[in-house]
Amino acid sequence: MQKVSFFRSIHLKFVLMYVLLILIAMQIIGIYFAQELEKTLKENFEESIEDRVNLLVFSVREELTRQRTEEDPSPEESLHTVLSGFSSDDIIEVRVIDSKMRILATSEYENQHLVNQRTADELVRNSIQSGTQFSKTYLDEPSQRRIWGLAMPVVSGDEVIASVYIQSDIEKVFGQINDINQILAGGTAFSLGITVILGILLAQTITRPIADMTKQASAMAKGNFARKVRVYGQDEIGDLAKAFNHLTTRLQEAQSSTESERRKLASVLSNMTDGVISTDRKGRIILINDTALDMLGVPREHVLNRPVPAVLGLEQEQTFEDLVDMQDPITIDFSNEEGPYILRANFSVIQKETGFVNGLIVVLHDITEQEKIEMERREFVSNVSHELRTPLTSMRSYLEALADGAWKDEEIAPSFLHVTQTETERMIRLVTDLLQLSRMDSREYELNTDIVDFVKFFHRIIDRFELMKSNDVQFVRLIPPGPLYTELDMDKMTQVIDNIISNALKYSPDGGNVRFTVQAEDDHIKIAVSDEGMGIPESNVKRIFERFYRADKARSRAMGGTGLGLAIAKEMIQAHGGHIWAESEEGKGTTIFFTLPFEVEEAGEWD
């Protein structure tokens, strides 16, 4: 998290706000105090002057209205005497002006030349004309001091006979106001200094818990839930810190639960035999397990954030919206030249409570083996039906002929009965082989094994076929003289070798050779039976162990084969822990190989 600079921090903002509030409050109080103080001082000053002027007005009226004798001084001299006694520090000059605006007397010695001259002072004129007092504060230009002028009328009866005009020095009042304002400003500055200190301390009590919570939030964002916020008090911030610590604990529990569920889900997904794909609301893949990657044969980085229809190879047929609406599973065929490969995809929509589609879950099942089994089952039923229908059809034809009277013909009837008996035996062999395969598929059989010298055992079976063979086929034995011991079920292994040798004799031409080979290799014996028949096409070699498969169907059926011999041989060899396969070249013959476990030490006799 980026650190907040000091000039943008809430700490500075809080202190500034606190100081500004105090400053504004003190300024309002100071302004109000200064205005009221100025008003009070000026009123006191003016009242003091007015009180003294009233006494002066009385004395002036007495001098102007009394009866004078020749021995008495003139009014100007009397007024000068009165004004001379009316002096103080705050009064600059006093003048007496009659009703004709003529100066009768002045207290200022330097202005005596103005006596008996007219004045144009507006305050005096207004006072004489209206009979009321007038006052005004103005700035004296030469001295740059404020002067308060007062003109008070002198009334005798109902007539204004004169006006007393006084100029007083009011600058001292403003000087007192300035001194008081300076004292107030100093107190304000001192108070602001104390306020700043208190504001910083107060701000720290708020910002320190907030800073701790910020650090805790950053630690929580990084997954560290062990850190706790310190509780500094029992106030609202303390309650917030407690709630934050409680939230941290709950988040830690939730994170642990979520992590546990995530591990469980990851374990389930990684161990599922089915492939699972999850998409976002736009159909892009956000999660895919290893099984799905193996099924699709692609690396993880090639499928993440790709549209799911493109990954599944459905972009030409389906859109993401089509898959969201898909109710039934669909089959995806990935078969190629190497073999069949079929997947079944089931789709499940992830929706919110509001119905908004939040994603899609795709579950992939590998149904290749199921489809193969199903196909083999259908083919097996078809083959069994065909194999049974052929002899039954033949028998019905001959039996119908016998029923129509052919039984009376001594030459034809035995032939018809022989064919019927042959077809019946063929069906019995077919059913017997089917029952045997069924028991082997269901593991409803047991091997009665014993330690046997396979060399003697193999020679004995070959000798039996050499006595029974009817065509001109030569047996070539490439078998070591020494004993080779293996554990096997003699009856079932005899059946296996009988089937292999019978097939070799069937497909060997007259004058051909059938070779028998036995080799000891490490921990097993390798046996091979080769003929010089017509061979099998390379594309069909692996199919000769399938049920009802025949290289030459017409010839095999004519020879009485059921097409199940090699299938039974395969099951028997695998039950003994061995392996069977074939190699063939068309026109040159076929070799059947199989292996059996090899016992190094002799463990007993086979006979």
* pLDDT reading at 158 higher than 60: yes
Would you call 158 helix, strand, or coil by DSSP?
A: coil
Q: List the structure tokens of 140.
A: 């004296």
Place of tokens 């039923």: 381
pLDDT of 383 reads 64
Q: CA separation (Å) from 129 to 38, 133, 342, 446? A: 31, 10, 125, 152
**pLDDT band of 556, cuts 50, 70, 90:** very low
Q: CA separation (Å) from 561 to 139, 169, 547, 555, 586? A: 146, 151, 12, 9, 21
**Residue 448 carries which DSSP code?**
-
pLDDT of 600 reads 59
Element (H, E) at 173: helix 171-221
* CA–CA separation, 516 and 500 (whole Å): 11
Q: How far apart are the first and last CA of the chain?
A: 89
**pLDDT band of 384, cuts 50, 70, 90:** low
pTM of the complete model = 0.43
Element (H, E) at 390: helix 368-403
**Residue 509 carries which DSSP code?**
P
**pLDDT band of 382, cuts 50, 70, 90:** low
Residue 133 near residue 151, CB atoms below 8 Å: yes
Task: Enumerate residues 6+ apart whose C-beta is below 8 A from 206.
Answer: 10, 14, 237
Would you call 323 helix, strand, or coil by DSSP?
A: helix
Mean pLDDT of 459-473: 82
- Strand-pairing partners, residue 350, are 359
**pLDDT band of 415, cuts 50, 70, 90:** confident
The predicted-structure confidence for 356-374, as pLDDT tens digits, reads as follows 888 888 998 888 887 777 7
- Rounded-to-10 torsion of CA 399, 401, 407, 411: -110
pLDDT of 527 reads 93
pLDDT of 529 reads 93
pLDDT of 339 reads 77
If we measure between CA atoms, which residue out of 319, 283, 289, 285 comes closest to residue 302? Answer: 285
* 113 vs 3 pLDDT, higher one: 113
**pLDDT band of 115, cuts 50, 70, 90:** confident
pLDDT of 380 reads 66
Q: List the structure tokens of 124.
A: 């005096």
Residue 465 near residue 514, CB atoms below 8 Å: no
* CA–CA separation, 483 and 456 (whole Å): 8
Report which residue type is found at 317. E
* pLDDT reading at 437 higher than 80: no
Q: Is 507 exposed, middle or buried (0-12, 13-18, 19+ CB in 10 A)?
A: buried
- Strand-pairing partners, residue 140, are 145
Residue 105 phi/psi, 5° resolution? -165, 155
**Residue 210 carries which DSSP code?**
H
The predicted-structure confidence for 509-538, as pLDDT tens digits, reads as follows 888 889 999 998 888 999 999 998 888 887
Residue-wise DSSP of 79-127: HHHHHHT---TTEEEEEEEETTSBEEEES-GGGGGGTT-B---HHHHHH
Place of tokens 């001082």: 41
Mean pLDDT of 233-257: 81
Would you call 395 helix, strand, or coil by DSSP?
A: helix
Across 483-531, the runs of DSSP E, i.e. the strands, are: 485-489, 513-521, 524-530
If we measure between CA atoms, which residue out of 165, 145, 136, 168 comes closest to residue 153? Answer: 165
Would you call 70 helix, strand, or coil by DSSP?
A: coil
Q: Is 144 exposed, middle or buried (0-12, 13-18, 19+ CB in 10 A)?
A: exposed
> In order of start, what are the domains of the chain with their CATH numbers?
11-177 (3.30.450.20), 269-366 (3.30.450.20), 372-440 (1.10.287.130), 446-597 (3.30.565.10)
**352-384 per-residue burial string, b: 16 or more CB within 10 A, e: under 16:** eeeeeeebbebbbbbbbeebeeeeeeeebeebb
